[in-house]
Amino acid sequence: MEIKVGKCFRKKKILDLVKLSNGWYVLKTENSKSEKDFRVRVVFSLKPLRWLTPKHAHFALDFYGKLCANKEKAMRVFNAIIEVWNNKPVEEIVRKYRNETVGLPGYDIEYILYALKWILDQEDVNFASRPERKQLQLDEICRKQGVSVPLGRKGSQLAISLFCDLASGAHPVEAFHRANLDVLPRMKR
């Protein structure tokens, strides 16, 4: 299998990709929710083929594990995520925070930032609106962490509010509930 822009992965055209320093690929492939929609995939291995569709919930749980291991270093990961959300170049932010996050359990900061960049972008692409009451709740959760919502990022604010809630000390069950997220096992067919 060849991983290259323009080729297909799981019957969907690869629109963009990043090869990480550990050999993994983060892919942006076609999707069908809207005209500009896309899907994010990570390929861990080509032979045998091992891949998944990462979700912001995976990274939220990873962040919680990091908070439990070392809050100071975990908050550097949080700051890096916020900088990427504010459209700072991922490569620059990885360089800035890599040494400050060494030794944390879970995902490497390079994978976190490249995958989340596209996941958050995808949330904005498909966002239409949300009830005012919910928007005010998300604004307050973000405000507690000193996070301002960049222009055009209301769709991804839900995911960012999850990270903000965890950074403020919420348990993942409570934070997921406030974000209206369920973590259900994948149904096999």
Three-state secondary structure call for residue 170:
coil
Do 32 and 26 contact (CB within 8 A), yes or no?
no
User: What whole-number distance in Å separates Cα of residue 131 and Cα of residue 144?
Assistant: 21
pTM of this prediction? 0.92
Q: What is the pLDDT of residues 97-135, one digit of tens each?
A: 999 999 999 999 999 999 999 999 999 998 989 999 999
pLDDT reported for residue 166: 97
Instruction: Average the pLDDT over 169-189 and give the result.
Output: 75
Tokens 């879970």 belong to residue:
106
pLDDT band at 189 (very low <50, low <70, confident <90, very high): very low
Q: What is the pLDDT of residues 132-164, one digit of tens each?
A: 999 999 999 999 999 999 999 999 999 999 999
Q: What are phi and psi of 50, to 5 degrees?
A: -130, 125
H or E stretch including 73? helix 71-85
Share of residues in the chain with pLDDT > 70 (%): 96
Angle, CA of 78, 82 and 85, to the nearest 5°:
140
Q: What is the DSSP pairing of strand 25-30 with strand 8-9?
A: unpaired
